[in-house]
Amino acid sequence: MPFRVAVLTISDTTFHKGPEYDLSGPLLTKNVEQHPDYELADTAVVPDDLEAIQSKVADWVARRGECKVDWIITTGGTGFGKRDVTPQVPDQVMTSVIIHGLLQLQGGTGGDIHPPRESVRQNNVDDVTVSAGLSRLRKSPFPMISLQEALDIVDAQSKPLPIETVPTGHMLKNYVLAEDIFASADLPPTRTTNVDGYAVVADEYNRAVQKLTDGAGMTVRVVRAKDTSDGAANEQVAVYRINTGGPLPAGTDAVIMVEDTELESSKSSEDGQELEIRVLMKQVPVGDNVRQPGSDAKQGEQVLDKGTVIGSGGGEVGLLGFVGKREVLVHRRPRVAILSTGNELVELESRNSILTSSDTWTGVVDTNRPSLRSTLEGFGYEVIDLGIAPDTMDLQEQAMRKGMAESDIILTTGGTSMGEADLLKPLIEHRLGGTIHFGRVAMKPGKPTTFATVPAIDGDKLVFALPGNPASALVTFYLFVVPALRGLGGWPKERRHLARVGVQVDCDMKLDPREEFHRVIVSPSKEQPGVLLAMTTGGQRSSRVASLCGANGLVHLPSLQKGGADRIKKGEIAQAVLIGEIRP
């Protein structure tokens, strides 16, 4: 649905002398009408009078349903004349008002002057020399949405990448099958032995052994499996030397384990093999130790389903080879670009020289990029490292464009919040023509998490602008980015999110108005079998990267409710998202 825009001309002259004196109002109206994303909701002309402006704006703000007004653009009344009163219109009314008619009169383009949100103000920031104060946003223009809403949005936008053919082998790990897999032949194709031993015709052996009187076993002649014709005239029962996995010689139907035999004599063949053994079994059942043809897979049987995730456990890769599948159709795995933003950031390698040369150095070592890279590569994704971009629109845009050209999904950290140097949101919207699906989430840590899609030649790219605080960046990575990566990689919906388990918490955990993810170490209880314990990693401030050190779980604390409990008490059970292996 297009955004409904109302244009308000604030001018004594136009109000008193007539519409022909209004130059900017009609120009703005025309631009709105011509833009495919906007719809003209209303226009009005009011004098330079606070009450008149307030009343009109309040009227528009109050409208609902079909008549609703999403944005109000005012033109005029923003100067310094005595009667230039627009900036005094109270905040609560003006939150959705964009004062930029004047910009257009100065020759701005439609794109510049109809930005979707107030974040446009930061659009013109070229470096961090912009001072705090008047230029700084006082309220985020992004609504705070719930965690569930945010997760649903990410799920909906994370559509599987195209299908490609990949040869069967270890590199298939973490891919998702885009075809059903069938066995092309019976497996095993013939009767084979499960054990090292001697193949025998069971009935022949059983008949002969019954004739014995001493019960101390029966001496048999050993033939190599390939010498089946040897000694047909010999009356002694023949057994055939055979090793695990080998095919049974024709006519044989059971296998005696080597452990159920004794060496009868030291007579040996030319190649040093035994020639006579004593079999200690009183009876050999037909089919004993024999793997029947097709008992592992029947020809034409479906052995793997489309949508199967080829795990790193080895089972799926092995099965594909086992059924003779040389290459498979899979969804392309996403490539991920990572970018750190912030003037204060330095690479770890360059820190020493800075530390020794200056006591006053206030730089911050870029830990987010190495952290994200290690976890991404652990999940099996190819990473494109975009480095550190300082707080300038141009440099950040340059890095983002490189990321868009080389990857399917871009992760940035820093610059998502309310500072003058927090450029990511305006950059995405105004320079990259992207759509910000959300810019604030009611969660802790991770409130300013931003998710957008940006158009590129080869399709939309996903962008996660994660908060700069290290713990926030990693927590939001596990909660939002992992499901998005899996969605792009074609994982079935029900497997995209990291698993949750019930855990018993080891200390009181206070509730916050925002849902919170408390970092913990999950391990099985030694005292209570079947119970998983969650041990806190200590201070949970989002700047404390150590809160994720060793953590393999995120206890999901519900938001604090009026009149409800203010904490999860020690010993109570809570849900935890597993972000690593359970510790023994």
Ligand X SMILES: Nc1nc2c(c(=O)[nH]1)N[C@H]1C(S)=C(S)[C@@H](COP(=O)(O)OP(=O)(O)OC[C@H]3O[C@@H](n4cnc5c(N)ncnc54)[C@H](O)[C@@H]3O)O[C@H]1N2
- Give the footprint of ligand MOO on this chain (CB under 6 A): 444-447, 467, 469, 472, 542
Length, in residues, of the chain? 584
State which of residues 422, 429, 515, 516 lies at the interface with ligand X (CB under 6 A). 422
**C-beta of 332: minimal distance to ligand X in Å?**
28
Half-sphere exposure of 182 (CA within 13 A, CB side): 5
Nearer to ligand X, 419 or 553 (CB): 419
Interaction partner, residue 422 (ligand MOO, ligand X, none; CB < 5-8 Å by kind): ligand X
**C-beta of 572: minimal distance to ligand MOO in Å?**
24
Q: What value, to the nearest 5°, has the Cα angle with vertex 442 and ends 452 and 473?
A: 60
Could you say whether residue 419 binds ligand X (CB under 6 A)? Answer: yes
Place of tokens 């399709």: 459
State which of residues 122, 417, 540, 552 lies at the interface with ligand X (CB under 6 A). 417
CA distance 564 to 551: 28
Nearer to ligand X, 76 or 448 (CB): 448
Could you say whether residue 416 binds ligand X (CB under 6 A)? Answer: yes
Nearer to ligand X, 413 or 547 (CB): 413
CA distance 452 to 484: 12
* φ, ψ dihedrals at 251, nearest 5°: 90, -25
Could you say whether residue 434 binds ligand X (CB under 6 A)? Answer: no
**C-beta of 417: minimal distance to ligand MOO in Å?**
8
State which of residues 364, 376, 423, 442 lies at the interface with ligand X (CB under 6 A). 364
CA distance 486 to 309: 10
CA distance 308 to 247: 32
**Residues in binding contact with ligand X, number by CB under 6 A:** 27
What type of residue sits at position 237?
A: V
Nearer to ligand MOO, 434 or 448 (CB): 448
**C-beta of 414: minimal distance to ligand X in Å?**
3
Residue span 336-355 as binding mask against ligand X, x where in contact by CB under 6 A, dash where not: ----x-x-xx----------
- Distances 187 to 169, 197, 292, 298, 327 between C-alpha atoms, Å: 20, 21, 9, 6, 19
**C-beta of 422: minimal distance to ligand MOO in Å?**
13
Whether the CB-CB separation of 240 and 223 falls below 8 Å is answered with yes
Nearer to ligand MOO, 222 or 577 (CB): 577
State which of residues 9, 368, 407, 547 lies at the interface with ligand X (CB under 6 A). 368
Nearer to ligand MOO, 174 or 540 (CB): 540
What type of residue sits at position 552?
A: N
**C-beta of 544: minimal distance to ligand MOO in Å?**
10
Could you say whether residue 448 binds ligand X (CB under 6 A)? Answer: yes
- Distances 466 to 169, 175, 378, 473, 475 between C-alpha atoms, Å: 35, 26, 19, 5, 10
CA distance 238 to 205: 9
Residue span 263-302 as binding mask against ligand X, x where in contact by CB under 6 A, dash where not: ----------------------------------------
Cα radius of gyration rounded to whole Å, the chain: 36
CA distance 274 to 276: 6
Q: What value, to the nearest 5°, has the Cα angle with vertex 451 and ends 395 and 31?
A: 75
Whether the CB-CB separation of 296 and 188 falls below 8 Å is answered with yes
Nearer to ligand X, 423 or 534 (CB): 423
State which of residues 168, 413, 453, 537 lies at the interface with ligand X (CB under 6 A). 413
Could you say whether residue 426 binds ligand X (CB under 6 A)? Answer: no
CB-count exposure of residue 473 (10 Å: 0-12, 13-18, 19+): buried
Cis peptide before 160 (omega within 30 of 0): no
Could you say whether residue 439 binds ligand X (CB under 6 A)? Answer: no
**C-beta of 321: minimal distance to ligand MOO in Å?**
45
Interaction partner, residue 14 (ligand MOO, ligand X, none; CB < 5-8 Å by kind): none
Nearer to ligand MOO, 47 or 467 (CB): 467
Closest-CA residue to 428 (of 415, 441, 442, 446): 415
Question: Containing H/E element for 299?
Answer: none
| Residue nearest ligand X by beta-carbon distance | 468
Question: Containing H/E element for 365?
Answer: strand 364-365
Nearer to ligand X, 407 or 469 (CB): 469
**C-beta of 513: minimal distance to ligand MOO in Å?**
12
Whether the CB-CB separation of 219 and 276 falls below 8 Å is answered with yes
Terminal-to-terminal C-alpha distance of the chain: 53
Could you say whether residue 141 binds ligand X (CB under 6 A)? Answer: no
Which span sits near ligand X by CB under 6 A: 60-68, 70-78, 204-212, 463-471? 463-471
Residues 6+ apart with CB under 8 A from 325: 168, 181, 184
466-485 positions binding ligand X, by CB under 6 A: 467-470, 472
Q: Which two tokens stand for residue 279?
A: 């079999």
**C-beta of 30: minimal distance to ligand MOO in Å?**
42
Nearer to ligand X, 467 or 490 (CB): 467
CB-count exposure of residue 370 (10 Å: 0-12, 13-18, 19+): middle
535-564 positions binding ligand X, by CB under 6 A: 542-543
Which span sits near ligand X by CB under 6 A: 178-186, 225-233, 416-424, 528-536? 416-424
**C-beta of 370: minimal distance to ligand X in Å?**
9
In the complex, the residues that contact ligand X under the rule CB under 6 A are 340, 342, 344-345, 364, 366-369, 413-419, 422, 445, 447-448, 467-470, 472, 542-543
